[in-house]
Structure 1
C-alpha cells in the first residue's frame, strides 16, 4: 500500500509541524512492549528522513547503554524545550501508520480497563506477521525523473543505454532492473550506468510476494426469514439506517436461525459500502462460518491462529485497504483494521475462548462493546446460553434483548434425558465409558442411517495413574496436576506445561507391575467406541488430533459428507456446528466441570450440555440427547434438559448475589508466582494488604479473598498464590487497584499479574 492511500485510509493528517520559536521542539511519546513500558518522550529530529505520525513504529535509544529498541509512537506534539535534553528518535520503522487513531484510542481504553501497559496492548493488537512484514521483500523500482524526460531526445548516450532509458520512459509503471533489462533486451550493465549518471532513479519498496489462494464458492440465495428472525433483523437495520450504536443480545435457542439474521444484517451493511466483523469462538467453526458467508458475499477474510504469519499479513493488508467486505475470526479479529466498519457480530458470545489467557487479558466481547460505541456502529451478540454478565446487562437496559424461542421451520427441540451413572456403576453388566442405554441408542441411530456426536471434555487415554501397592501417583514434576496417559507413543503428558515421560509399565517407586491406569479421556473413549462398533467409521476431534493446518476443515467435511458416522471429541464439537443428519448426541460425562473450584462451574456445565444438545434435531429425522451424569438432580443439568435458560438464570443469579460474585460485582484477580514458595506467598500477602488499605482509605465497598494457593498451586515449576478483589463499584475498584499496582516495586524473585474480570480461577 502506498503512503498516500494509507494516510487517507486512517485519516492521518499531513505533518503540520513548524517550529514557531527556538523554545519549542517536536516531541514523540513512545511506548514499549517490554519493560520499561513507558511511555517516554523523545525529540523528533529535523534530519529524520520520513515524517513521524502516531501509529508508526520507531527505533529509539533506551537505557544507559542507549540500545536501539522498537517502540510505538502514541502522539507527536510541540513542547517547550526543557532543561533536560531529550534523546532523539533514531529511525521510523514503518513507512505508513499501522495503527489508526481509532485503534490507538481503543488500545488506550484496553490498557486503562485491564490494567496493563499500553505498549503491551499495541503489541497484541498488531499480529506478529504484520509487525515482521511477513511474506514481503524489498524491491527496487526504476523511473525516469521529470527533468530527464524533458531532454530525452537530446541526450548523447551509448545505444544500449539510450534504448533502456527510452523503454523505461515509455513504460506505464516503474520497473525493476530485471524487468527493464528484459524489456530493453540488454544486460544490467547499461542500467547500472544510467543510475550512476542519475538519469534514472531507484525507489525501494516492500512488496507482498505471497498470494493466498482463495477457493471459489458457489453463490447462494438468501433464505426466507420467519417472524422471529425478521423481528431481530428489523431492530439491527433500524440502527444501521440511523447510523447509531446499539448493542443487541440475540437470545435464540439452538437452531433458531441466528446465523441467517447475521448474514441478512451484513447484507444491509454492505449496501451502505461498509464492512463487518464476525467473531466465532472455535477455530473448528471458522471453515463452516466462512463457507456460509462466502456463499453470500464476494470477499471474506479469515483470521485465526492456524494461519501462517505471511497469510495473516496478506489478509490484514487487504482488510486495511478496504478490499474485504466481511472479516471472520477468533477473538483477535476484533482488532481487524477495517477502515469502514459498519457492524460487529459475536456468535456464541458466552464462550470463554473470547477471553485472552495472557496479558493483555482482554475479553473480546467487552472490547467489541467499546469499539462499537466509539465507531458508532451496531453490535450483535448471539447465543442460546448467554453469559450471565450479558443477561444482566440486558436487564439493566445496556443491551437490547431479542428473543428467538423457536427453531427454524418450527422443528422441535430434541428430547433430552439423563442416565444416572450411580445406577449404572452398580450394575455389573455396565463396563466402560458408554452405558447400556447410550450403547443401545447409538446402535439404533446407526441402524436408521443417522449420525452420532459424543462429547467428553477431557483429552488423552487415562487421566489418573496410581500404584495400588505403594500409593505412587504420576504427577507432573513442574505442576500440581496428574499426568495424562496418551496411547500414541505411550506417553504421559502434562496438558499445562507439556512435560512428557514414557508411560511406566511398573511402579517407578516399588516396581509393582500392577500399576493402575484409570480415568477417561477422548483417546480412551475412541478406543472403546471402535471396539464396540467395529464396522462404523469413527473420528476424534480434540487438540491432539487437530494440530495440522486444515485438519478441522477436513474432519468436518468428512462428517458432513456422511463418511464418518460417529464424531467424538472435546468442547470444540459442542458449538455452532450444523449437521442435519445428526440424530443422537451423547454427553459421556456431564460432571467434568461441574465440581471445579470455580463459581462459574454450574454456568459452564449448563452451557456445554445445552450447546451440544443443540447439535441434533436439525433435520427431518429429529433427534435425541442422552446425558450421562452422577448428578442428575443438579439444577444446571435439569435446566439444560428442559432447554430453559431463564430457569437456570433464576437459580444461579441469587447464588452469585449471596456470595458477592459477578455479574453483581466486579472482580480483579491478583496472581503471584515464583520459584520459592515462602517468598511468593509473602509478596502476595504484602500486595494484597496494600490493595486492602487503599480500598479502605477511599471507603470503596469491597471484599477480598486470599491470598491463598491457587487450585493449581504449582504450574510450570512456579508456586502460585492468588487473591480475589471484588466490589459493586467496578470503576473505583479498577482505578485504586491500578494506582497501587503502578506503585508496587518489582520483585526480582516473583512475577505477578492482575486479571480484570477473570473467567479462569484455576
Structure 2
C-alpha cells in the first residue's frame, strides 16, 4: 500500500500556500499542501491550519507556489473549507492597502472584514440556535453528538468539540451546521438582531360592498375623520396592496387616535408584522421614479458630466434639498448598466427610513449589512453580494469589506460624519477614504454627499481633485428654518430662565404643542449630571479605572463611567469629609427630560441617547412613536441630528451650544457648525417653516453667526486659513501614536524612548509625548505622540516605513515589556 502511495504521488507537485491568519502578526505564514488537496486549494478560499503548539485557525489563502519557506519547516494545512473562494482578488488587494496605509497587519484587517462565522478558531465558542426547531432525526451521528453535548453544556469551544468527536479538525462539520442554522457563535447571541415591527391596517372583511355605503353614511354623520380614514384606506389598498399605519395616517391626515377608535369598533383590524431588514417583504413599485426639480435636474446632469473626468464628486446640498433623490437616480442608472452599488451610511440604525425608501424603488435587489445582524444573516449577505444577487448594498462602515463582483458606484451619505472612523480595534480606518480607494480598484465612481462637508473634502473639491456640485434650495420650495439665538446670561439676569430653558424656547414649545406639532431638544451629553461635588471640600467621585469624573444617572441611581462602563452607588454623604452637602454640576439629557416633565406635565416626552437605545429595537420604537405622533417632545444627544425626517417636527431647541464650541480640538469649530446645522435641519422639512432656538452664553461667536446665515463658505475660509498657519489637515497629514502601560513610570520611559527615536528621523514634525485629555482608561495610562507630514504621498509612505522600523526596534528591547503602542493614521 505504501509503495502504491509513493508511486501515485511521485508525479504530483508539492504546493505551498501563504495564508492570512486572523492575528496581529507581521507576515503571512506558509503551509504545505497535502497531495490530496492540491486540486482544492485556490486563492481566496478558507483553510484550517495549526498555528503555535495546538491552536487551530481558519485562514485565507493569499498565494500559492512551489517554494518552501527558507527559515522554517512548513506544517501541512489540515483542510480546505470552501468549494469556491469566499474572498476575491480585489478584496485581498484592498486588505493589503489598508494594512499598509493604516499601519496595521493584514490579519487585523481580515478580523474586521470577515463575519465571525467565516473565521472559526479553536477558542471560538459555539451554542445552539434557540430560534431554530432542530429535527434530530435528520442529523448524522457527529451532528447528533454535538447537539446533545450542547443541550447538557450550553457553550462549547471548537477545541471541546474536537475532543468530543475524537478528531483534530471539526471546522468542516461546524461549517455545515452553521449553514443548516443549527448552531451560532456565542459572542453574537446577546447581540441578536431583532427585526423592526410595523403595524398594518386592513378593513374588517364583514364590510362588503353593500355594507360599505351604510358604514360611510353612519361615519360621515357621527365621525367624519373616521370616514376620511376608511376612504384613504380604500384608495391605498387598490390592487390588494398592504397599507401600513404611517402611510394611512399621512394619506388621511388623521391622528393615530382616530385609527385606534376604528380598531376598537372592529371596523378595522391592526396587525403588527415583523419587517426584516435582511429580506424585502413590502411591495416595491417598478413604475416609481424620483421626481426632480429643475435645480436637481441641472445638478444631476453636472454630476454625470463630471464623472466623465473625475472619479469622486462632492455633492454639497443644504438639509432637505433632496440629495437622496439624486442618489436614487444615479443608482438606477448604475444598476441598468449591470454594475453594483454601495450606499454607505454613518449609522445604519439611525436611518431606517432611507432603507424603506430605497426598497420602494429597488425591492429585493437591495441588501443591508451591519453589525446588528447575527452570523447566519451576515454570511448570507456576504454570499449574495459575492454571487451578484444583491445589486445594491446599504450599510455602515464595515460594508466596504464585502466581496463585490463589479462595484460601479459608492454613495457616501453624510460624508463628514465621525462615525465613518473606526477607533478601536485596528484597523483604525476611515470608511469614506477607504471607499475612495476601493472604488478605484473597481474603476468605479464615488459620490460624497453632505449639507456640511468635511473641510478636507471641500478643499479637494475646490482644488480640482474632486468634482463639485451644489444644491442651494430646499426641495419643494420649503423655507430654511428661522433661527433665533438666545443669550442665557441675559435671561439669568432677568430671571426669566425656567430650569435650563429660556423664556423664548418655553414659549415656542408651548405654542407648538397647542398646534399639535412636535419638538426636538438637543443636549450633547447623556446622563443626569456630569459631575457630583461636595460643597464643603470639593470632593468629586472619580472612576477607579479611568481619570474621569463619574456621571450620575437618575434612572439607575448610580454613578457611571462613560469610558469603561464602571458603576458605583451614588453617595448620600461625602466619602472624604462626611458632609451631606452634595450638589450636581452640569446637566445631561436625563435631567432635561426630568425637568420638562415638571414644567410641561401635559406633554408626552421621550429621551433618545445611548442609555435608552441599547436594546436592538428601542431606537425603532422611539422613531415609530415620533412618526405616529405618540410623543410631543424628543430629547436627545447627537443621535437626533442624524437621519430624522418627520413632517410635524417644527421646533428645535439647542439647550447649550457652548458645550460644542468650547472644546480643545482643531476641528471644534468645524464639528460645532456641522452639528448645529444638522440639528437645525431637522425642523420644518415638509411644507412648514420650522424654528430653531439656540441657547448660548456667547451669541456673538462666529460659528453661531455662520449657522444663522447658513454660510458654510465663511466657515471654510476661516478654518482653512487657521489650518494652513498651524500645519493641520488638509495641508498636513497626521499620524498619532498612543503608548499605553499600567505603570506610569514605565510609560514615561517608553514614551520618551519612542519620542527620541522618532525625532532623529523627523525633527520638529514630532509633537510630544504628552498626556491626552483623559490620561488613564481601563487602568492603562496613556501618552500620545503626534507626527505631522506634508501631503506628498511618497514622503508619507517613507515616513510610515520609518515608523514601522522604529516600532519594531522598540519591540525588540526589554523596555517595551507590558506596553501597547497603537498607531492611528488620520486620527480625527
Give me the TM-score of the superposition, normalised by structure 2. Answer: 0.77
Match of 1:290 among 345, 348, 355: 355
Match of 2:19 among 22, 30, 33: 30
Residue 275 to residue 508, structure 1, CA distance change in 2 (3 Å): same
Could you say which structure has the higher helix fraction? 2
Which of 433-442 and 121-130 deviates more?
A: 121-130
CA distance in 1, matches of 2:717, 2:9: 64
CA distance in 1, matches of 2:345, 2:510: 33
Check conservation: 1:135, 1:209, Cα contact below 8 A.
Answer: no
Check conservation: 2:24, 2:108, Cα contact below 8 A.
Answer: no
SS in structure 1 at match of 2:577:
coil
Matched, 1:752 2:809: no
CA distance in 1, matches of 2:779, 2:328: 47
The equivalent of 1:458 in structure 2 is 525
The equivalent of 2:216 in structure 1 is none
The equivalent of 1:79 in structure 2 is 67
Residue pairs, 1:65-104, within 5 angstroms: 65=53, 67-79=55-67, 82=70, 85-104=73-92
Residue pairs, 1:640-659, within 5 angstroms: 640-659=707-726
CA distance in 2, matches of 1:569, 1:55: 45
Match of 1:125 among 87, 110, 113: 113
Residue 682 to residue 402, structure 1, CA distance change in 2 (3 Å): same
Match of 2:33 among 44, 49, 64: 44
Match of 2:789 among 727, 735, 753: 727
Check conservation: 1:137, 1:208, Cα contact below 8 A.
Answer: no
Matched, 1:114 2:85: no
Residue 210 to residue 276, structure 1, CA distance change in 2 (3 Å): farther
Residue 560 to residue 49, structure 1, CA distance change in 2 (3 Å): same
Check conservation: 2:487, 2:695, Cα contact below 8 A.
Answer: yes
Matched, 1:524 2:495: no
The equivalent of 2:564 in structure 1 is 497
Residue pairs, 1:236-255, within 5 angstroms: 236-237=303-304, 246-255=311-320
The equivalent of 1:596 in structure 2 is 663
Residue 35 to residue 284, structure 1, CA distance change in 2 (3 Å): closer
Match of 1:441 among 508, 522, 525: 508
**Paired residue total:** 676
The equivalent of 1:267 in structure 2 is 332
CA distance in 1, matches of 2:378, 2:345: 17
Residue pairs, 1:310-709, within 5 angstroms: 310-358=376-424, 359-695=426-762, 703-709=765-771
SS in structure 2 at match of 1:360:
coil
SS in structure 1 at match of 2:774:
strand
SS in structure 1 at match of 2:511:
helix
Matched, 1:308 2:296: no
Check conservation: 1:136, 1:209, Cα contact below 8 A.
Answer: no
Write out per-residue CA displacement over residues 480-533 of structure 1, whole angstroms, 9 at most, x where no aligned residue.
111111111201100110000011121122221121122111111111122222
1:688 deviation in Å? Answer: 2.0
Check conservation: 2:47, 2:58, Cα contact below 8 A.
Answer: yes
Which of 209-218 and 104-113 deviates more?
A: 209-218
1:719 deviation in Å? Answer: 0.6
Alignment gaps of 5+ in structure 2: 1-7, 130-135, 141-172, 183-194, 196-275
CA distance in 2, matches of 1:177, 1:565: 55
1:109 deviation in Å? Answer: 0.5
The equivalent of 1:219 in structure 2 is 284
CA distance in 2, matches of 1:86, 1:533: 73
CA distance in 1, matches of 2:621, 2:72: 62
Write out per-residue CA displacement over residues 245-298 of structure 1, whole angstroms, 9 at most, x where no aligned residue.
721100000011000111111111221222211111123333111111011111
Which of 458-467 and 93-102 deviates more?
A: 93-102
Write out per-residue CA displacement over residues 176-213 of structure 1, whole angstroms, 9 at most, x where no aligned residue.
98599xxxxxxxxxxxxxxxxxxxxxx99556345985
Residue 710 to residue 93, structure 1, CA distance change in 2 (3 Å): farther
Write out per-residue CA displacement over residues 456-493 of structure 1, whole angstroms, 9 at most, x where no aligned residue.
11110111101011211011111111111111120110
CA distance in 1, matches of 2:672, 2:590: 22
Which of 542-551 and 605-614 deviates more?
A: 542-551
CA distance in 1, matches of 2:708, 2:758: 43
Alignment gaps of 5+ in structure 1: 1-17, 139-175, 181-202, 697-701
Which of 428-437 and 712-721 deviates more?
A: 428-437
The equivalent of 1:208 in structure 2 is 179
Check conservation: 2:654, 2:695, Cα contact below 8 A.
Answer: yes
Which of 402-411 and 226-235 deviates more?
A: 226-235
Write out per-residue CA displacement over residues 80-126 of structure 1, whole angstroms, 9 at most, x where no aligned residue.
68585323223234443221111110011100100100110111111
1:216 deviation in Å? Answer: 2.6
Residue 401 to residue 454, structure 1, CA distance change in 2 (3 Å): same
Which of 40-49 and 119-128 deviates more?
A: 40-49
The equivalent of 1:157 in structure 2 is none
1:561 deviation in Å? Answer: 1.6
CA distance in 1, matches of 2:100, 2:445: 24
Residue 25 to residue 232, structure 1, CA distance change in 2 (3 Å): farther
SS in structure 2 at match of 1:744:
helix
CA distance in 2, matches of 1:99, 1:582: 45
SS in structure 1 at match of 2:575:
coil
Check conservation: 2:318, 2:471, Cα contact below 8 A.
Answer: yes
Residue 96 to residue 688, structure 1, CA distance change in 2 (3 Å): farther
Give me the TM-score of the superposition, normalised by structure 1. Answer: 0.84
CA distance in 2, matches of 1:77, 1:100: 18
Residue 247 to residue 367, structure 1, CA distance change in 2 (3 Å): same
C-alpha RMSD of the superposition = 2.9
Residue 382 to residue 210, structure 1, CA distance change in 2 (3 Å): farther
Residue 563 to residue 484, structure 1, CA distance change in 2 (3 Å): same
